């Protein structure tokens, strides 16, 4: 609208200028009358001056307006008490535009205050860091976790909180690090997560800090309760028949409250007693074996980290089970990403884990009722978090969804004759190797175990 009125005004002035010029030329060249020619000449000069003043006035107003917008000043207001309709239309349009900009600015400021308050009241510590380490946003909870009143650059944490500084300096987007901290004389398990935000050409790292101490305690209690249930089940399974059998044997040698004389015992009593004692011995050995397995979980040696040649290890690992695959006519495949040559680990401990996983995979194939030929695949690949993943997949019987959260619990097993410590021991070892182990499974289709180092 503003541009239409401006263009009409200029067009009208140009037409008047052209008409005056034509009249001047007529009286100078055709009629040769000096007085009208002088009049139109003066009129032409007046119109030219008026046109320049009008154009400059519009430019000045537009310049004032855009300078005010650039400086975020929405208080500028143009007078609407002018007689010139074009200028009046321009003033009204600029005032209306200024009003819209002011409303948008107010709305944005309200939203900004809202989000600042929302971030400030968050129970999670939040902070954004630019590529040079300068802190753009930081809420009070983050300051509490870091033990600072204010923080302009994370480099200042080198003197204030070196462990957190080391994490913030090295953490990559998508990673999570758990760090133990003493805050106000309380132990805090600080979960530090990182993500990346991009605004045009600017990149920021968004850091979230959260105390997961209570969550870890709840998980720990839950794990202990599951462990106690499994151990109670195993112990009761052994003690109950021993107690029952002991009572039976006692009755062979007692008649009520009286102890029977030796001559009262028959050969059958003695034979039953010997059989009962043999059963008690067998169950006792079973309990000792159970306790010995428990001791294995608590006596994992400290790892000795050395570079392990991946290609050499894969070749020897496959050769270890070659006869089993040939005997059962199963397919075994291995694949290594290009560029992967070594990984820093304890080869003996890591090999123990992978042997256990391979054994489980073969057992799963044997338990599968499908007619499909057994197939196990080992893929070694790089991950986005700059770690090496050993992915062992099979097409065995899979794991029931209801059992997925129990398979790493000590002594829990679904295999007949199994002791239930293989996967639990494997997880303990991988943790000592500073890695992690996870599983994906679909019943009757197979399982995928991922070991990440």
Q: Mind listing the pLDDT tens digit for each residue in 24-37?
A: 677 767 666 677 77
* 356 vs 55, higher pLDDT: 356
The position carrying tokens 């002035």 is: 13
Compute how many other C-beta atoms are within 10 angstroms of the C-beta atom of residue 77: 12
Q: Is 411 helix (H, G, I), strand (E, B) or coil?
A: coil
Contacts of 29 (CB under 8 A, 6+ apart): none
Q: In whole angstroms, what is the distance from residue 138 CA to residue 142 CA?
A: 6
Pick from 257, 248, 253: which is nearest to 276 by CA? 248
Could you tell me whether strands 125-129 and 202-211 are parallel, antiparallel, or unpaired per DSSP bridges? antiparallel
**Chain centroid to CA 431:** 20
Task: Report how far apart, in Å, the C-alpha atoms of 205 and of each of 109, 116, 158, 251 are.
Answer: 24, 18, 19, 77
If pLDDT is split at 50, 70 and 90, which confidence band does 3 have? very low
Q: Mind listing the pLDDT tens digit for each residue in 333-389?
A: 999 888 888 989 988 888 888 888 988 888 888 887 677 788 999 999 988 767 899
* 89 vs 377, higher pLDDT: 377
Q: In whole angstroms, what is the distance from residue 330 CA to residue 394 CA?
A: 11
Is the distance from CB of 140 to CB of 149 less than 8 angstroms?
Answer: no
Q: Mind listing the pLDDT tens digit for each residue in 254-275?
A: 777 777 777 777 777 778 777 7
Cα within 13 Å of Cα(392), Cβ side:
20
Any idea how long the chain is?
A: 453
Q: How would you write 340-389 as a 3-class SS string?
A: CCEEEECHHHHHHHHHHHHHHHHHHHHHCCCCCCCEEEEEEEECCCCCEE
Position 368 scores a pLDDT of: 77
pLDDT at 174 over 50: yes
């Amino acid at each position: 609208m503003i541009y239409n009125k401006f263009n009409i005004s200029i067009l009208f002035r140009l037409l008047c200028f052209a008409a005056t010029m034509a009249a001047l030329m007529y009286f100078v060249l055709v009629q040769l009358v000096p007085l009208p020619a002088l009049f139109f000449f003066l009129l032409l000069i007046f119109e030219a001056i008026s046109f320049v003043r009008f154009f400059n006035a519009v430019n000045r107003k537009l310049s004032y307006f855009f300078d005010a917008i650039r400086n975020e000043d929405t208080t500028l207001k143009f007078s609407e008490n002018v007689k010139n309709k074009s200028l009046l239309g321009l003033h009204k349009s600029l005032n209306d535009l200024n009003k819209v900009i002011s409303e948008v600015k107010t709305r944005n400021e309200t939203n900004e205050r809202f989000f600042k308050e929302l971030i400030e009241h968050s129970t999670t510590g939040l902070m954004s860091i630019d590529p040079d380490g300068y802190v753009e946003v930081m809420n009070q909870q983050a300051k509490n976790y870091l033990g600072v009143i204010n923080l302009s650059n994370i480099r200042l944490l080198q003197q204030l909180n070196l462990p957190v500084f080391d994490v913030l300096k090295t953490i990559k987007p998508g990673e999570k690090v758990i760090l133990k901290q003493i805050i106000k004389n309380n132990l805090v398990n600080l979960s530090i997560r990182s993500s990346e935000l991009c605004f045009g050409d600017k990149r920021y790292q968004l850091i979230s800090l959260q105390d997961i101490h209570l969550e870890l305690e709840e998980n720990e209690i839950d794990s202990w309760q599951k462990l106690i249930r499994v151990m109670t089940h195993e112990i009761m399974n052994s003690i109950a028949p021993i107690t029952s059998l002991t009572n039976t044997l006692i009755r062979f040698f007692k008649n009520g409250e009286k102890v029977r004389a030796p001559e009262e015992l028959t050969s059958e009593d003695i034979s039953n007693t010997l059989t009962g004692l043999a059963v008690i011995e067998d169950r006792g050995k079973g309990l000792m074996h159970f306790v010995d397995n428990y001791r294995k979980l608590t006596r994992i040696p400290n790892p000795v980290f050395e570079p392990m040649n991946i290609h050499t290890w894969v070749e020897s690992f496959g050769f270890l089970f070659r006869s089993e695959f040939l005997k059962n006519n199963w397919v075994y495949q291995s694949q290594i990403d290009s560029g992967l040559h070594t990984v820093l680990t304890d080869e003996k401990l890591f090999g123990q884990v992978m042997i256990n996983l391979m054994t489980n995979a073969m057992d799963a194939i044997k338990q599968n009722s499908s007619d499909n030929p057994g197939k196990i695949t080992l893929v070694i690949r790089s991950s986005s978090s700059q770690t090496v993943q050993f992915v062992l997949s099979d097409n065995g019987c899979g794991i029931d969804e209801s059992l997925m959260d129990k398979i790493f619990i000590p002594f829990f097993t679904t295999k007949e004759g199994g002791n239930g410590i293989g996967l639990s021991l494997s997880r303990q070892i991988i943790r000592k190797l500073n890695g992690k182990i996870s599983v994906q499974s679909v019943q009757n289709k197979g399982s995928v175990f991922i070991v990440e180092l």
